[in-house]
Amino acid sequence: MIADRNIICIASNWWYDPTSKHHVMKLLAERNRVIWVNYHGSRRPRVAVADARAIAGKLRQVVRGPRRVADNIIVVTPLVIPLPASRAAQRLNKTLLTRQIRAVLRTLPAAPVQLWSFAPDVHYLAGRFDEECLVYYCVDEFSEFAGYDKAAILRAEAELACRADLTITTSQSLYDAKRGLCDNTVLVTHGVDFDHFASASTLSVPSDIADLPRPIVGFWGMIQDWVDLDLIARVARARPEWSIVLIGESLVETGALAAQPNVHLLGRRPYARLPAYAAGFDVGMIPFRVNELTRAVNPIKLREYLAAGLPVVSTPLPEVEAYREWARIARSPGDFVMECQRAVTSSTPRAADARREAMRKETWRAKVEQISGHVEKVLRGAPLTTTP
């Protein structure tokens, strides 16, 4: 694994629920020092209560200054201007970000610097830290997110990838879309916190779902516009005797769904408790709309459900299709109901063990070792095997 580096990580909020960024950087921090930058300049804020709250939270983080959250991880929330289409804002952000990151970098022991960006639009930081390499870690088709300036994001991303020494993509769709932007583009799919989720078989079911009618069809994750709430409501109406449990913060209107008597919106629950909830689920569902955004998605929850031993039912996302041996694909709302029914009636302890075992080698540590190998080849100037 990469070692003895100072890694600047441009990412989303450290205090969000764990994502690929958190898993990768926590492992790299075992042998390196990480400056995690809570970057929030990719989208112009809307006149909305949620954005007002987010801005207030960011300003509080800015005022608090850098915070050490682990032995080798310092989190800094920089003051930036969230106007991604404005060249003037880019110039100002370049100055602001550079100064704030350099100030933290000076507090660390001298070591080679690497710049890793999970954001697509910080091309202006390339070369600002005398970094030995720039890594663009592409986990989404950012130009398709609601509220993003598509043209501005695509221009900025193309420039970032062009300047990157290595671009990592996490789905076949992203690899196909980005490989022309950077000579060294690789596909490394997401991993799973295997031991964490495999512990589901040993845990007690949380009290807030323990007494719900079975089967329980469950979901965890952010409830955003890519989650098909109409599909979930269809399942709830078709099987009123089932319990539908959704875990996660909701950023869309869920009133119509909450009106279904057998739907239970629990809100956020700690990551540490998710395996216990998995112990109470009979099916893990991935009810995503299928569009240009989600065709590029590689849902981490797929591997988490499987590592917990759960049968999975999903809409036809390309990256889930690759796991057809372990996941059921539903191509219509009616199919989704039927596949959930089949998953409930056909699951056995042996099948659950097989699902868990299939995920044993897909750990985040294995993925970080793979990524580290690519980075080390780039540093040596060795050729990469870029085809998936």
pLDDT at position 47 is 42
Q: Are 232 and 340 in contact (CB under 8 A)?
A: no
Q: Which residue has the higher pLDDT, 55 or 14?
A: 14
Q: Are 384 and 378 in contact (CB under 8 A)?
A: yes
* 165 and 216 fall within a common domain: no
Q: 266-271 long-range CB contacts below 8 Å, 24 or more apart?
A: 266/208, 266/209, 268/17, 269/220, 271/17, 271/18
pLDDT higher than 90, residue 284? yes
Rounded CA gap, 181 and 80, in Å?
27
* 81 and 224 fall within a common domain: no
* 154 and 244 fall within a common domain: no
In a domain, 219, yes or no: yes
Lowest mean pLDDT among 85-89, 205-209, 254-258: 85-89
* 338 and 202 fall within a common domain: yes
Helix (H, G, I), strand (E, B) or coil at 95: helix
* 176 and 254 fall within a common domain: no
pLDDT at position 61 is 56
Rounded CA gap, 283 and 179, in Å?
36
In a domain, 182, yes or no: yes
CA atoms within a 13 Å half-sphere pointing along the CA-CB vector of 199: 12
* 165 and 224 fall within a common domain: no
| CATH code of 280's domain | 3.40.50.2000
Q: Domain residues for 224?
A: 194-359
* 41 and 171 fall within a common domain: yes
pLDDT at position 49 is 47
* 156 and 211 fall within a common domain: no
* 38 and 179 fall within a common domain: yes
pLDDT at position 146 is 87
Residues 335-376 have pLDDT tens digits of 999 999 999 999 999 999 999 999 999 999 999 999 999 999
* 226 and 299 fall within a common domain: yes
In a domain, 139, yes or no: yes
pLDDT at position 323 is 95
The token duo for 216 is 């329980």
pLDDT higher than 90, residue 386? no
CB contact set of 99 (below 8 Å; sequence gap of 6+): none
- pTM for this model (two decimals): 0.92
Burial of 17 (0-12, 13-18, 19+ CB in 10 A): middle
In a domain, 385, yes or no: no
Residues 50-81 have pLDDT tens digits of 544 554 454 555 556 799 999 999 999 987 77
pLDDT band at 106 (very low <50, low <70, confident <90, very high): very high
Residues 116-138 have pLDDT tens digits of 999 999 999 999 999 999 999 99
* 288 and 187 fall within a common domain: no
Task: Report DSSP letters for 57-88, one per residue.
Answer: HHHHHHHH--EEEETTEEEE-------TT-HH
Tokens 């809570």 — which residue? 38
* 168 and 201 fall within a common domain: no
